[in-house]
Amino acid sequence: MGGIDLDLIAATAPFLWDGLCTSFQLLLLAMAGGISLGAILAVVRIAGPKPLAALAATYVNGLRSIPLIMVILWFYLLMPLATGRPIGAFTSALVAFTIFEAAYYSEIIRAGIQSVSKQQLAAATASGLSQLQAYRFVVLPQAFRKMTPILLSQSIALFQDTSLVYVVGLRDFMTAVSVTANREGHLVAFYLFAALVYFVLCCTGAQSVQLLKKSMVSQ
């Protein structure tokens, strides 16, 4: 035991690589879905009719008060019941992440929108844009520019969270590592290797966000 057996890891690399690809697929699709849904929720909360705004607020606060594992288990249970046929762990996990992360993204986007000057909205509607157009073409582009670094930081957290699909047995990187580690009987080597991979990926991501932040300030 102890140390990282490189030959063993090389032999199992294709399987681990497939897992990593699944993790990234989940990340990118959940990011796209989560940010889109999050933007809608944020605009509805700020500019929507009262009952809808209250509904969006309940959605966001409700989801933020339950553990992600619980949400993943919920969708793993509900999706086949709702559609009446078996649904893969990937689809149910993707829906769970989209719905869950949208709540967190929407809070970031809401803060971003609120940081845009009110006069921008007034000027846009005065120049004949509808409320919807004003948000779509004037407010949101400015808000998104300001909050891109925070959205990316949240996405690094999301990448780490994808490891939780372990509880429904979806073969992401974490699950692939765990399966291999137990099959080969080398828990120490494989878990240390996985920690190294996550560390390098997340550190690189965080560094890039820092660089982006700096370059945005200097502009």
Partner 1 sequence: MIYHWDWSVPISAPYLGWLMSGLAWTLLVAGAAWVIAFVLGAAIGILRTLPHRGARMIGAVYVTVFRSVPLLLQLFLWYFVVPELLPASVAHWIKRDLPLPEYWTSVIGLGLFTAARIAEQFRAGIQAVGRGQSMAAAASGLTLLQSYRYVLLPVAARYVLPPLTSEFLNVVKNSSLALTIGLLELTGQSRQIEGVTFHGIEAFTAATLIYVALTLTAIAAMRAIERVVAIPGLMARV
Nearest distance in Å: CB 35, partner 1: 21
The answer for 191, left when phi > 0, alpha when psi is -120 to 50, beta otherwise, is alpha
By CB under 8 A, tell whether 70 contacts partner 1: yes
**Count of all residues that appear for the chain in the document:** 219
Half-sphere exposure of 118 (CA within 13 A, CB side): 2
Interface residue with partner 1, options 7, 49, 51, 81 (CB under 8 A): 81
Interface residue with partner 1, options 166, 176, 180, 209 (CB under 8 A): 166
Interface residue with partner 1, options 40, 55, 69, 111 (CB under 8 A): 69
Helix (H, G, I), strand (E, B) or coil at 207: helix
Rounded to whole angstroms, the Cα distance separating 96 from 90 reads 10
Interface residue with partner 1, options 40, 136, 191, 213 (CB under 8 A): 191
By CB under 8 A, tell whether 27 contacts partner 1: no
Rounded to whole angstroms, the Cα distance separating 129 from 136 reads 10
Cα–chain center distance at 131? 28
Judged by the rule CB under 8 A, the positions of this chain that interact with partner 1 are 1-2, 62, 64-70, 73-74, 77-78, 80-81, 84, 160-161, 163-164, 166-167, 174, 178, 187-188, 191-192, 194-195, 198-199, 202-203, 206
